[in-house]
Amino acid sequence: MSKRFIKLFGSALVIALIFFLIGNNIARNAEQVKPYIKNFNPYLIIISFILLFPPMIIQTYLWKSILNAMNVELSFRETFSIYYIGNLGKYIPGKIWQFFMMAYIAKEKGLSATRAFSASFVGQMLSVAAGMLMAFITLGASLTKYLTNPLFFVFILLFLSFIFLLFFKPRIIEFIGFFFAAILGRSQSLRIEFSPGKLLKFTLIYFIIWILVGLSFYLICLSFFYVNIKKLPFLVGSFSLSVVIGFLSVFAPGGIGVREGLITVILPAGNITNSSLAGIIAIVARIIFTCNEIALFILAWAFRLKGVKDVKKEIER
């Protein structure tokens, strides 16, 4: 039995266990949930789905800006197709595969695989940094009870250390990236060629993206029950934290299970709703966000095919 099979089986087992616990909790408290489901507003779900597209477009322009800063010039269509086709690599256990997929697609277009890999890696790390910053700002008071937990302290210390290295000692991050690529049998090296000022600017834009994505999550909650607008910052921070922790959970492709589990814990802790309804919201949010990723992938693939056709026409001329 190969190690890869054991890892995949272990990941599937953990994810299945998390969803089993969420589903079991919903089933045990079905009577509490029925009134909310009865008053479910599908129109707000549709709006929440539509609202996911603007931040994704901003994210495309942001990745294009990161590539431009690395002297790689791409059109919006090319950037979009590389990013959202490669983005599906996050559903492969190990997280780093989405960076390799983006590098591979970029290489097909004659671009530098190293620069594409580096841009996607740096972009994702800045997104993580902005998401964690959002969580600390909006959930600060709610997180204080965890500060005495040694694991929480270690996690924060590692996170702050990483941010410091990314901004001020990027060569160390490059070495770590090369090390992991070598372990996975890949040749891509990592190049971080940005000033701290540039990185800060990119991080602030990711911060705005998290706010817009959190607004979509707020509407998903609102489709089941009334949520005071004052709770919006808490919901934005809750979703940001759950997505980031899900991303950092190497065993969970796409953060599946981890994100949902955290939402079922955080929403009741913030007196938003009970754990059963939080579980339903978490699953609905996963469906909405996955549908958005599928739509983006289809559009990206259409851009890719259009690009191939344009190249063939140029050759025929």
Instruction: Please write the tens of the pLDDT for every residue from 36-47.
Output: 677 788 899 999
Computed over every residue of the chain, the mean pLDDT equals 76
Closest alpha carbon to 95 in 242, 239, 292, 251: 251
For residue range 95-137, list pLDDT tens digits in order.
555 565 666 666 656 666 667 777 777 788 888 888 888 888 8
Residue 316 reports pLDDT greater than 60: no
Residue 118 contacts by C-beta under 8 Å, 6 or more apart in sequence?
Answer: 70, 190, 191, 192, 193
Question: What count of other Cβ atoms lies within 10 Å of the Cβ of residue 25?
Answer: 17
DSSP state of 92: S
Query: Of how many residues is the chain composed?
Result: 317
DSSP state of 291: H
For residue range 279-289, list pLDDT tens digits in order.
889 888 888 88
Residue 158 reports pLDDT greater than 80: no
Contact 291, 49 (CB under 8 A): yes
Assign 148 a pLDDT band (cuts: 50, 70, 90): low
Question: How much is the average pLDDT of 249-261?
Answer: 74
Cα–Cα distance measured from residue 225 to residue 72, given in angstroms and rounded to the nearest whole number: 47
Question: What count of other Cβ atoms lies within 10 Å of the Cβ of residue 306?
Answer: 12
CA distance to 83, 102, 216, 239, 251, per residue, from 56 (Å):
10, 16, 12, 16, 25
Closest alpha carbon to 189 in 179, 178, 201: 178
The percentage of the chain sitting over the pLDDT mark of 70, rounded to a whole number, equals: 62
Question: How much is the average pLDDT of 223-237?
Answer: 90
Assign 159 a pLDDT band (cuts: 50, 70, 90): confident
Q: For CA atoms 72, 247, 276, 226, give the dihedral sign.
A: negative
> What is the largest distance, in Å, between two alpha-carbon atoms of the chain?
69
Closest alpha carbon to 87 in 103, 75, 107: 103
Residue 239 contacts by C-beta under 8 Å, 6 or more apart in sequence?
Answer: 213, 214, 217, 263, 285
Question: How much is the average pLDDT of 237-243?
Answer: 90
Assign 52 a pLDDT band (cuts: 50, 70, 90): very high
pTM value is 0.79
Assign 187 a pLDDT band (cuts: 50, 70, 90): very low
User: For the residues of 6-34, what is the DSSP string, one character each?
Assistant: HHHHHHHHHHHHHHHHHHHHHHHTHHHHH
